[in-house]
C-alpha cells in the first residue's frame, strides 16, 4: 500500500461529516456521493437492537389471481408496501424508521420488464422513507435473486434497528 494514497483517502474521509443521533449512533456517508445509503453505521455498546425479519408485499388487488404480480403491484408499489410493514414491525417493537441502521433488500426480476430487476422502481419507493435530509440513512445491501416464496413477490426487506 502506498502512503500518499492512504493519506489522501484518510484526508477525504476526515473531511466528510458523520451524522450522529442523540443515541450515539453515527452514520458515515459515502465520501463524495449523494447516494441515499450510509457507507457504514457505528452502533455504540449498550444500544438496544431490534432485528426485523424479512417483510413481503401486501396484496393490493384482491380481484387479481392469487400469487400473481398483479395482486402485489410493480416494484415501487411493493417496496412502499414492504417498508410500511417494516415500519409497523418497528413501531410494534418501540422503534421508528429513523432507528434503522442496516437493511438487506432482495429484488426479483419483474416479468413485465423482461425479467430485469427494477432497481429504479425500488429506489423510488425507498427514498419515500430514507433520505440524507432526514439523516436516517442505513448501511444497505441490495441483491437480485431468482425468486421469492410467492411468484408475484418482487421485493423482500429485512432490517436491523438500534437506539
State the pLDDT at residue 19: 53
Q: pLDDT tens digits for 84-107?
A: 999 999 999 999 999 999 999 999
> pLDDT value at position 116?
95
Residue 159 exposure: Cα atoms within 13 Å on the Cβ side: 28
Q: How far is 73 from 13, CA to CA, in rounded Å?
A: 40
Mean pLDDT value of segment 52-57: 98
Q: Residue 15: is its pLDDT beyond 50? A: no
pLDDT at position 23: 79
User: Could you tell me whether strands 139-145 and 100-108 are parallel, antiparallel, or unpaired per DSSP bridges?
Assistant: parallel
Q: How high does pLDDT run on average in the chain?
A: 90
The number of beta carbons lying within 10 Å of the beta carbon of residue 133 is 7
SS3 (DSSP) at 128: coil
Amino acid at each position: 500500500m502506498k502512503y500518499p494514497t492512504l493519506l489522501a483517502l484518510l484526508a477525504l474521509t476526515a473531511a466528510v461529516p458523520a451524522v450522529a443521533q442523540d443515541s450515539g449512533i453515527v452514520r458515515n456517508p459515502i465520501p463524495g456521493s449523494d447516494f441515499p445509503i450510509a457507507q457504514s453505521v457505528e452502533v455504540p455498546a449498550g444500544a438496544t437492537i431490534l432485528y426485523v425479519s424479512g417483510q413481503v408485499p401486501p396484496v393490493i388487488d384482491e380481484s387479481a389471481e392469487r400469487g400473481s404480480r398483479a395482486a402485489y403491484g410493480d416494484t415501487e408499489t411493493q417496496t412502499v408496501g414492504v417498508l410500511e410493514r417494516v415500519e409497523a414491525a418497528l413501531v410494534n417493537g418501540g422503534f421508528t424508521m429513523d432507528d434503522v441502521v442496516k437493511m438487506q433488500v432482495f429484488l426479483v426480476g419483474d416479468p413485465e420488464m423482461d425479467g430485469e430487476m427494477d432497481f429504479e422502481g425500488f429506489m423510488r419507493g425507498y427514498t419515500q422513507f430514507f433520505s440524507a435530509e432526514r439523516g436516517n440513512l442505513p448501511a444497505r445491501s441490495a441483491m437480485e435473486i431468482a425468486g421469492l416464496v410467492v411468484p408475484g413477490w418482487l421485493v423482500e426487506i429485512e432490517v436491523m434497528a438500534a437506539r
